[in-house]
Amino acid sequence: MAMEKIGFIGLGNMGHPMAKNLEKAGFQLSVYNRSFEKTRDFEEKSSVCTQIKDLVQNSDIIFTMLTNDNAIKAVYEEIIPLNIQGKLFVDMSTISPETSTETAAALKIKEASFIDAPVAGSTTPAKEGTLIIMAGGEEKDIQRAMPYLLKMGKSIKYLGENGKGLAGKLSVNYFLSAIYQGLAETVLLAGKLGIERSDMLDIINESASGSGATKVKTPLLIADEYAPAFALDLMLKDILLAKNAGADFPLSEVLVQTYQNAHDKGFGQDDVIGIINYLKTIE
């Protein structure tokens, strides 16, 4: 299969390393970011576009990795009026299923295709190309995007029609939000009972209660420093999206309240496991 020309819009904490993996693989790549500074280290090997329309014109497959629904709507409002017949758009953001399916429908009218392909994993898997990608859309479009998705993820899970990738992502992040709050509370309880944090984390990680999620956050908890690999505010966004999508369970209200209160108290830009600092304030 001849390799197509690739565009990537959104070079944030996740998008930048994901686009870099496409560049390293040798694909013909164009990039765009609203803040031009983040495009600097693409100038040598890729094409840097200063306008979205130029990137779309010069690309066959366009990836978007943006912060939220509003950002996606703003970008695709610029894209949809363009001549996009035959192009494939792959949105890897975590947004509402409704916004995703509406975008897919609008693109279909213009004879373009759309996949929702959000990812599980934070900045380290993004750099390593070991993300898990959950995809929704037509199978032929998934197959068209597959050579490029495989450079960003270790596993591509096809879940069905447009919106199903996001359904998978919101479900797994709902679970992660509970794990991280539970982990933080457990560490605080152990501290109250005189157990060293490092010992408690060893017990968790070496027992059935441990997981990749607990292990990846252990160094942050040991250092008690919470530079964001995945910011608390982003988890709050995803919990609210999950609630709006149907998460109406006893735990749902607790998670929304805790993460919202942590945001309100100024912890939103910390890593998600930095919720421990908010929990300390209510002990």
Give the rounded distance of the alpha carbon of 34 from its chain centre.
Answer: 18
CA 207/CA 114 separation, integer angstroms: 42
Q: Are 81 and 112 members of one domain?
A: yes
Listed residue (184, 185, 163, 181) closest to 173, CA to CA: 181
Last residue of a domain, one of 103, 133, 162: 162
**CATH number, position 268:** 1.10.1040.10
Q: Are 111 and 23 members of one domain?
A: yes
Q: Are 140 and 199 members of one domain?
A: no
Q: Are 212 and 156 members of one domain?
A: no
Give 142-165 pLDDT, tens digit per residue: 999 999 999 999 999 999 999 999
24 is catalytic: no
Give 108-129 pLDDT, tens digit per residue: 999 999 999 999 988 899 999 9
Last residue of a domain, one of 137, 162, 187: 162
Tokens of 78: 């610029």
φ/ψ of residue 258, rounded to 5? -65, -50
Q: Are 129 and 67 members of one domain?
A: yes
CA 190/CA 271 separation, integer angstroms: 21
* Cα distance from N-terminal residue to C-terminal residue, the chain: 59
CA 23/CA 109 separation, integer angstroms: 31
How many domains does the chain fold into? 2
- The conformation of residue 154, written as its DSSP 8-state character, comes to E
pLDDT score at 3: 80
**Residue 16 in domain:** yes
Q: Are 149 and 243 members of one domain?
A: no
Q: Are 156 and 19 members of one domain?
A: yes
Are the beta carbons of 214 and 224 closer than 8 angstroms? no
CA 65/CA 118 separation, integer angstroms: 9
Listed residue (51, 56, 3, 45) closest to 21, CA to CA: 45
Provide the angle, in degrees to the nearest 10, between the axes of the packed helices 97-109 and 69-79.
0
**Residue 262 in domain:** yes
Tokens of 90: 């792959």
**Residue 1 in domain:** no
User: In terms of residue numbers, what domain contains 197?
Assistant: 168-281
Q: Are 182 and 109 members of one domain?
A: no
Q: Is 2 a residue whose pLDDT tops 80?
A: no
Q: Are 235 and 268 members of one domain?
A: yes
Q: Are 15 and 99 members of one domain?
A: yes
CA 92/CA 65 separation, integer angstroms: 5
**CATH number, position 28:** 3.40.50.720
**Residue 249 in domain:** yes
Output the pTM of the full model. Answer: 0.91
Are the beta carbons of 53 and 80 closer than 8 angstroms? no
Give 34-91 pLDDT, tens digit per residue: 998 999 999 999 999 999 999 999 999 999 999 999 999 999 999 999 999 999 999 9
Determine the 3-state secondary structure of 200 from DSSP. helix
- The conformation of residue 120, written as its DSSP 8-state character, comes to E
**Residue 83 in domain:** yes
Q: Are 38 and 92 members of one domain?
A: yes
Cβ partners under 8 Å of residue 73, min gap 6: 99, 103
pLDDT average, residue stretch 247-274: 97
User: Which residue out of 38, 169, 217, 237 is catalytically annotated?
Assistant: 169
The kind and range of the H/E element at 63 are strand 61-64
pLDDT score at 1: 46
Q: Are 277 and 145 members of one domain?
A: no
φ/ψ of residue 160, rounded to 5? 130, -150
Last residue of a domain, one of 114, 145, 162: 162
